[in-house]
Amino acid sequence: MNGNFAGGYSAPDFILARNDSELVSAMPQNMAAGYFRTDLMPEVFYHKCAQYTAIKTLAPELVFNGRSVNTLTELPRKVVKPMVIRPAFSPQSKGSALIVGGNDRPSMDDVIQQLRHYSGPFQLHDYEEGQPLFINGILSIGTLIISDMWRCITLPIGYRDILTAVINLSEKALPEGLPQQLAELAIGMGMLAGPLHIELVLTADGPKIVKLTPRLASSPLPDLCHFGGWQSQQQLWQTKSCNIQHKSLIGYVADYSFIFLQAGRVKQFFFEKEIKALSSFSYYFMSPKIGQDVQMTIDGDTYGCTLFLRNNSLEILESEIAYLTTLNLKGAFHIESIK
């Protein structure tokens, strides 16, 4: 895709944010610089309850069936089918969703205990099976220009679905017309131009939005773009170049993260030999935390280690990620309890 960004928009004027806390701070200046409508309520881009209400009004087909509650005491004690609970605001934007109900999931009382540090409100919605995706790009001249897109692989551990891997994905995998629908939604919410990060799930009932926010994707997605050989979202915005290549230099790229199944002191990582024997293995993006005191993995900031993978064959890459998952579930670390 070739072209320039809309006249009057100067990328250096835009304050780039990488999480919701930074986004809150950046919004006033970005609004003053003309990247948003003057009547915008900025909360629609970082407050989950406000965003749910806005999207339900503008594009009801893109939301899960859900509702909001103001306090933990309003959460239903009896859950008939699996439900997702999200604090309205999560500063670091990594892994705030908790899942209750269904087989092998904790009780509502356990989830409430995990949420006790949040004052509320909370967004609730049905848990629907589907394919989670990350979509990153630029909103410009009424169009979403996609820089990179990722298929997410998760592990159901307790009250969370822990993200363990992403694989680059072609825009052709999206339902027809979805990028333009997302662009029109962002515009309807008050955005005129800038970076856009979207998290959604492709369900049997169509795409459902988890998050739509005018900020950069979190690490390691920009690093994977560089690894794959194409412009990241930030590079696209700052260079104002729409020359996007959606092919990696060599086939497909992915990351894979091992998790801690318990808290304690890391004494050993078990699967170094098996990992380095994989045809897809390239290098450690984050090395194993040997000798460190760690907590059980709950989000993107508490992984044990992260690999970068590359392969010409998607089938081989997927099979090796499946193999890594079996190792992950066995417990990849010897962790000593701390007394």
**DSSP sequence for 83-106:** EEEEES--TT-SS--EEESSTT--
Burial of 299 (0-12, 13-18, 19+ CB in 10 A): middle
Contacting residues for 10 by C-beta, under 8 A, at least 6 apart = none
Span 260-268, mean pLDDT?
94
pLDDT attached to residue 91: 63
Cβ(230)–Cβ(246) below 8 Å? yes
Angle 48-58/178-188 helices, nearest 10 degrees? 110
pLDDT attached to residue 8: 41
Span 212-240, mean pLDDT?
92
Cβ(186)–Cβ(198) below 8 Å? no
Say yes or no to pLDDT of 90 above 80: no
Q: What are phi and psi of 114, to 5 degrees?
A: -70, -25
Say yes or no to pLDDT of 327 above 50: yes
Element (H, E) at 54: helix 48-58
Q: What are phi and psi of 329, to 5 degrees?
A: -70, -25
Say yes or no to pLDDT of 6 above 70: no
Confidence category of residue 12, pLDDT binned at 50, 70, 90: low
Span 324-328, mean pLDDT?
97
Range scoring the smallest mean pLDDT among 32-41, 78-87, 202-211, 272-281 = 78-87
Tokens of 288: 């194993």
- Give strand pairing partners of 162: 155
pLDDT tens track for 93-135: 566 788 988 777 888 888 888 888 888 899 999 999 999 999 9
pLDDT tens track for 127-186: 999 999 999 999 999 999 999 999 999 999 888 899 999 999 999 999 999 999 999 999
Residue whose pair of structure tokens reads 């705030």 in the numeric block = 96
Span 200-222, mean pLDDT?
96
Say yes or no to pLDDT of 335 above 70: yes
Question: What would be the CATH architecture of the domain defined by 250-333?
Answer: Alpha-Beta Complex (3.90)
pLDDT attached to residue 242: 53
Q: Using omega within 30 degrees of 0 as the cis cutoff, is the peptide bond preceding 156 cis?
A: no
pTM of the model: 0.92
Confidence category of residue 1, pLDDT binned at 50, 70, 90: very low
End-to-end Cα, the chain, rounded Å: 58
- Give strand pairing partners of 281: 309
Whole-number average pLDDT of the chain:
90
The domain locations on the chain are 16-45+53-59+135-247, 64-126, 250-333
Residue 52: count other Cβ atoms within 10 Å of its Cβ.
Answer: 22
Tokens of 258: 């091992």
Say yes or no to pLDDT of 241 above 80: no
Q: Which amino acid is at 264?
A: G
Q: How many residues comprise the chain?
A: 339
pLDDT attached to residue 132: 97
Comparing C-alpha atoms, which of 200, 128, 120, 132 is closest to residue 162? 132
pLDDT attached to residue 159: 85
